[in-house]
Amino acid sequence: RHVSHIARTRVSSNGSPWLSSFKPGEMHSIAMSHGEGKFVASSEALDALAANGQIAFQYVNEAGVPTMNGLDNINGSSMAIEGIMSEDGHILGKMGHSERYEENLFQNISGNKDQNIFENGIRFFTHE
């Protein structure tokens, strides 16, 4: 099945150049468009990601709480994970399409839709 949806996500960590302008707990409304994709890992791997602060984003309910509820965690990802990062934070992988937002798009969608991960990355990698 194909999922085309705006999902509510929460910043879980800002330990990455890509997330440098975000505050943990900040929420975003992000475009999702994918088929069968979801994040799945063993309990040990999930515990390690959490302990290392490598969970970047999680699907959350209206109260900002990570959830397995299919209305909010639209693909059933383990621990409601929408994005993770490498131990050094230089590599970020996520399901949502931050690049699909432009000013004046999604006007009937509430929430912060501007997730400027690319601006953050450019600032870091160009040393500006």
Domains of the chain by range and CATH? Answer: 3-98+115-122 (3.40.50.880)
Calpha distance 8→46 (Å, rounded):
21
What are the phi and psi torsion angles at 92 (to 5°)? -120, 130
Strand order in the sheet with 81-85: 27-34, 3-11, 55-59, 81-85, 92-94
**Residues 6 or more apart in contact with residue 80 via CB below 8 angstroms:** 58, 59, 60, 66, 67, 68, 72, 73
Q: How far does the chain reach from its first CA to its final CA, in angstroms? A: 42
Each of the 128 residues of the chain gets a pLDDT tens digit; together they read 777 788 899 999 999 999 999 999 999 988 887 777 789 999 999 999 999 999 999 999 999 999 999 889 988 899 999 999 999 999 999 888 666 556 766 667 766 667 888 889 889 888 87
Q: What's CA 29's distance to the chain center, in Å?
A: 10
Distance of alpha carbon 87 from alpha carbon 55, whole angstroms = 10
